[in-house]
Amino acid sequence: MDEQPIEIVERKGIGHPDTMSDAIMERVSLELNREYLRRFGGILHYNADKSLLAAGVTEPAFGGGRVVEPMLIVFGDRATNVYAGEEIPVDEIAIRAAKSWIRENLRFVDPDEHVRYQVELKPGSAELTDIFRRGESDLGANDTSAAVGYAPLSRTERAVLEIEKFLNSPKFKRSHPETGEDIKVMGYRVGDRLDITVALAFVDRFVSSESEYFRMKEEVLEELNAFVKENYDFREINIAINTLDRPGRGVDGVYLTVLGTSAEGGDSGQVGRGNGVNGVIPLMRPRSSEAAAGKNPVSHVGKIYNMLTHHIAKKIHEEVSGIKEAYVWLLSRIGHPISDPALAAAEVSVEPGVSLADIRPAIEDIVQRELENITDFVERLIEGEIPPY
């Protein structure tokens, strides 16, 4: 990818409504895992990967505005709520999970005051639910689905990912509490020139006037330029922040929020509209169509294969000498063991002088090894060790 003439990459930060939707439903998934394991010693049928974060209404103002109407989170899809005669409080689990994630990640959002909750998690279909009662050690795939992953990240992908993480880091927030968590980074590369556009929500209680807003924005831009200059070696890098701003228009001409996220009044969110499982939206790469966040981690190939393909591609790139880039595809067949995909394929770009015939056995061994150890990978997903956003 680094050798292509152009590249476009996007990253939606933790406070973006789409990333919030992914993260909250993934937290719901993890809490369901824990509850099912605690009560029954295994994961029951669920898929919590459909949700809507409907924006609220706010009135930002220099020095501090107000929340007029709270945001609304709608939790959708399926979850087992009765098993072996026991009721599982699915609604309570979902709301508790959302509130805990909000408290941990959004400094200015009060999950009790600023958010409403609507749980629409219903029991699943009989046949899909039965997968979990068949006693098979290697569960059958719940769907016929395909996934693709790649490694390594390109220079542009790394820059876009790391710029958002820098702006949302605890250290940066201590220095610039006026910056909210809703950050979107769009990067495009032409040759060796990288252009970055950042949308960064400012929190109104820290901004007393229009002139102070523009002063603060310049300070953020200065620090961001220094970070980029220190960490990346593109021939030329151009960065712009909040390019819709217009001086002289007061609150209407600046990106000002009450709570640090556009979900408070400007933008809604959905699962699957945000980052890929490797943290970026790479428009020049093949991408999986399934959203991984919130899906069941023991049978839903839309989650397992989506994340496993990136994992296997990374192993191939790291362990086999002479590979510049690796892509991995996995295709499931509903009902067949997840360790036995209908198709597993790898595509690699190699360094000059490297023979594909020489490295093919090593690649095949890695793919086979990771499929045989898929249970260990699933355990990591159950524990939430690999965030899918």
How many whole angstroms separate alpha carbon 98 and alpha carbon 365? Answer: 41
Model confidence at 138, in pLDDT bands (50, 70, 90)?
low
C-alpha separations of 64 from 165, 185, 206 in Å: 26, 26, 7
pLDDT in tens, 167-216: 999 999 999 999 999 999 999 999 999 999 999 999 999 999 999 999 99
Reply yes or no on whether the pLDDT at 126 is more than 70.
no
Q: pLDDT value at position 299?
A: 84
Model confidence at 222, in pLDDT bands (50, 70, 90)?
very high
Q: pLDDT value at position 142?
A: 87
Residue-range domain boundaries for the chain: 6-12+154-266, 17-132, 146-153+275-382
Fold of 17-132: GMP Synthetase; Chain A, domain 3 (3.30.300)
Q: pLDDT value at position 283?
A: 97
pLDDT in tens, 32-57: 999 999 999 999 999 999 999 999 99
Task: Indicate the residue type of 229.
Answer: K
Reply yes or no on whether the pLDDT at 132 is more than 80.
no
Specify the range with the lowest mean pLDDT, choosing from 104-118, 126-140, 142-156.
126-140
Domain 146-153+275-382 has CATH 3.30.300.280: yes
Model confidence at 140, in pLDDT bands (50, 70, 90)?
confident
How many whole angstroms separate alpha carbon 115 and alpha carbon 105? Answer: 14
pLDDT in tens, 236-281: 999 999 999 999 999 999 999 999 999 999 899 999 999 999 999 9
Model confidence at 235, in pLDDT bands (50, 70, 90)?
very high
Q: Annotate 8-32 with DSSP letters as a single string.
A: EEEEE-TTSHHHHHHHHHHHHHHHH
Reply yes or no on whether the pLDDT at 220 is more than 60.
yes
Q: Which of 181, 182, 58, 62 is nearest to 113 (CA)?
A: 58
* pTM for the structure as a whole: 0.93
Residue 78's beta-bridge partner residues?
47, 122
272 sits in the region (left: phi over 0; alpha: psi -120 to 50; else beta) called left
Reply yes or no on whether the pLDDT at 125 is more than 90.
no
Q: pLDDT value at position 127?
A: 41
Q: pLDDT value at position 156?
A: 98
Q: Report the 10 Å Cβ neighbour count for 272.
A: 19
Domain at 6-12+154-266, CATH homologous superfamily: S-adenosylmethionine synthetase, N-terminal domain (3.30.300.340)
Q: Is 51 exposed, middle or buried (0-12, 13-18, 19+ CB in 10 A)?
A: buried
Asked if residue 124 lies in contact with residue 43, where contact means CB atoms within 8 angstroms, the answer is no
Average pLDDT, the chain: 95
pLDDT in tens, 61-70: 999 999 999 9
Q: Which of 342, 325, 130, 107 is nearest to 205 (CA)?
A: 107
pLDDT in tens, 74-110: 999 999 999 999 999 999 999 999 999 999 999 999 9
Per CATH, 17-132 and 146-153+275-382 having the same topology is answered yes
Model confidence at 289, in pLDDT bands (50, 70, 90)?
confident
pLDDT in tens, 327-386: 999 999 999 999 999 999 999 999 999 999 999 999 999 999 999 999 999 999 999 999
Q: Give residues with Cβ within 8 angstroms of 54, minimum separation 6.
A: 71, 72, 73, 74, 268
